[in-house]
């Protein structure tokens, strides 16, 4: 039995295709290589939502949703200051309306974009900054985070990140969203299920630990010894391996390309030494199982360069992935059936049945 449902087809989708052998991600007919670096967060949302709602998600509607989210939660920020960022965003998301309307979808997309910067500022004792609905989504997120306009290369870097992680087949969080949507529950319920799945370190919780691991290595010369000791203790090297990709994760390349356009990060040389050592050691440890760099390795470096603290990385992932979750939830609700797999009972049987 495939305990992790490997190779089980659980849905048909016109949204994205993860070709693990070719190392290719297709989103709505375009390869990620084509999309990354030239597509905005709004454009990818438009592509993902094309068949999901009667109306398209315009930049103006998304800007208005950012303003609504800020007004709705501005007065909750203080009471959430001691709650971990991801949990605080999830708590606010739970309070949004739970239906299938485009307005709700846009509030769900806007929620992490507005709340992550606001919660981070609140925690540091700085006032939260209201959204500017006339700005692009990525530019506004960075402005709300820093209190000043970001450089165009930084805005482009965040756009590349949001596009790169927008959708990725039937990953754990998207599957969770589809399961909930298959019961005809509302979009907020589906997205909340996805938040739960995203949080784990085997899925969206990896990039913070990636940075911890790079910092623990300390110098390029120690990479081999520190990572070797981790593997000897049976630990996993964060940011490596993937259930489907058997060659390099194309998202890692997209994010590495975005990083190259930013001023050099002080961690970059160390990170590249860690990557090289990790790939060498993993090849030795598992010669038959390709374990390559995954999206989370370069996510950690890119989000760090853009000024997000590591404990917010998973919530920033939700900024990008919410559009994908919603598109899948709508696809499932419109054309799918209730998802209800079987289990094999391996417990004791009543005496009379023996
Ligand atoms: N470091 C060390 N060993 C590894 C790693 C790793 N990063 N990844 C897999 N392995 C080993 C496992 O220990 C296992 O060995 P075993 O057969 O001796 O027990 C073997 O390779 C196969 O691993 P599985 O866990 O069966 O592979 P799976 O497809 O379930 O793993 C996963 C995919 C969870 C991403 C895994 O590679 C991992 O834990 N990576 C580290 C965490 C990480 O980077 N997560 C982010 C993933 S990307 C995303 O979700 C957005």
What are the residues whose beta carbons fall under 8 Å from the beta carbon of 262, sequence distance 6 or more? 153, 154, 157, 302, 305, 306
Tell me if 16-202+311-335 shares its fold with 207-305.
Answer: no
Whether 242 lines ligand 1, by a CB cut-off of 6 Å, is yes
Residue 327: helix, strand or coil by DSSP? helix
Q: How far is it, in rounded angstroms, from Cα 198 to Cα 287?
A: 29
* Percentage of the chain lying above the pLDDT 90 cut: 90
Domain ranges for the chain, please list them.
Answer: 16-202+311-335, 207-305
Q: Among the atoms of ligand 1, which is closest to the Cα of residue 236?
A: 1
Around Cβ 259, how many Cβ atoms within 10 Å?
21
CA distances from 91 to 87, 97, 172, 265 (A): 6, 13, 20, 33
Residue 289 Cα, ligand 1 centroid: separation in angstroms? 10
Write down the pLDDT at residue 353.
60
φ/ψ region of 264 (left if φ > 0, alpha if ψ in -120 to 50, else beta) reads beta
Residue 295 CB less than 6 A away from ligand 1: yes
Find the mean pLDDT for residues 266-280. 94
> Mean pLDDT across the chain, nearest whole number?
95
Instruction: Give the pLDDT of residue 351.
Output: 86
Q: What is the reported pLDDT for 303? A: 96
Query: What CATH architecture does domain 207-305 belong to?
Result: Orthogonal Bundle (1.10)
Structure token pair of residue 91: 């708590």
**Other Cβ atoms closer than 10 A to 265:** 15
Cα angle value 178/181/187 (rounded, 5°) = 110
- Ligand 1 centre to CA of 323 (Å) is 26
pLDDT value of residue 93: 98
E strand intervals along the chain: 16-19, 24-27, 30-31
**Torsion-angle region of 150 (φ positive above 0: left; ψ -120 to 50: alpha; else: beta):** beta
Reported as a single tens digit per residue, the pLDDT across 57-115 is 999 999 999 999 999 999 999 999 999 999 999 999 999 999 999 999 999 999 999 99
Superfamily of domain 16-202+311-335: Citrate Synthase, domain 1 (1.10.580.10)
Confidence at residue 248, expressed as pLDDT on a 0 to 100 scale = 83
Which position among 154, 292, 296, 331 bears the catalytic label?
Answer: 296
What is the distance between the alpha carbons of residues 141 and 129, in angstroms, rounded to a whole number? Answer: 10
């Amino acid at each position: 039995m495939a305990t992790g449902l490997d190779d089980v087809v659980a849905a048909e989708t016109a949204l994205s295709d993860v070709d693990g052998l070719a190392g290719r991600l297709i989103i709505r007919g375009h390869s990620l290589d084509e999309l990354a670096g030239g597509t905005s967060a709004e454009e990818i949302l438009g592509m993902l939502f094309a068949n999901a709602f009667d109306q398209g998600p315009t930049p103006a509607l998304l800007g208005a949703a950012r303003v609504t989210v800020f007004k709705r939660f501005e007065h909750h920020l203080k009471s959430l200051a001691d709650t971990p960022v991801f949990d605080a965003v999830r708590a606010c998301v739970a309070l949004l309306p739970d239906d299938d309307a485009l307005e709700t979808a846009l509030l769900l997309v806007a929620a992490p974009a507005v709340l992550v910067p606001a919660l981070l500022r609140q925690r540091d004792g700085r006032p939260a900054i209201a959204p500017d609905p006339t700005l692009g989504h990525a530019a506004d997120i960075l402005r709300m985070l820093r209190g000043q306009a970001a450089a165009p290369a930084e805005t482009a870097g965040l756009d590349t990140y949001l596009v790169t992680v927008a959708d990725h087949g039937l990953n754990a969080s998207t599957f969770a969203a589809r399961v909930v949507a298959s019961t005809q529950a509302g979009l907020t319920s589906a997205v909340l299920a996805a938040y739960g799945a995203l949080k784990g370190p085997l899925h969206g919780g990896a990039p913070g630990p990636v940075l911890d691991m790079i910092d623990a290595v300390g110098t390029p010369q120690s990479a081999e010894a520190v990572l070797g000791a981790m593997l000897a203790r049976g630990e996993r090297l964060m940011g490596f391996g993937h259930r489907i990709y058997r060659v390099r994760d194309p998202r890692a390349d997209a994010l590495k390309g975005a990083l190259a356009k930013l001023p050099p990060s002080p961690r970059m040389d160390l990170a590249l030494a860690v990557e090289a050592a990790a790939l060498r050691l993993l090849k030795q440890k598992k010669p038959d199982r390709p374990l390559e760099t995954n999206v989370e390795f370069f996510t950690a470096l890119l989000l760090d360069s853009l000024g997000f603290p590591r404990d917010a990385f998973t919530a920033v992932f939700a900024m990008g992935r919410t559009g994908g979750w919603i598109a899948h939830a709508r696809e499932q609700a419109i054309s799918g059936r209730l998802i209800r797999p079987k289990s094999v009972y391996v417990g004791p049987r009543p005496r009379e049945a023996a």
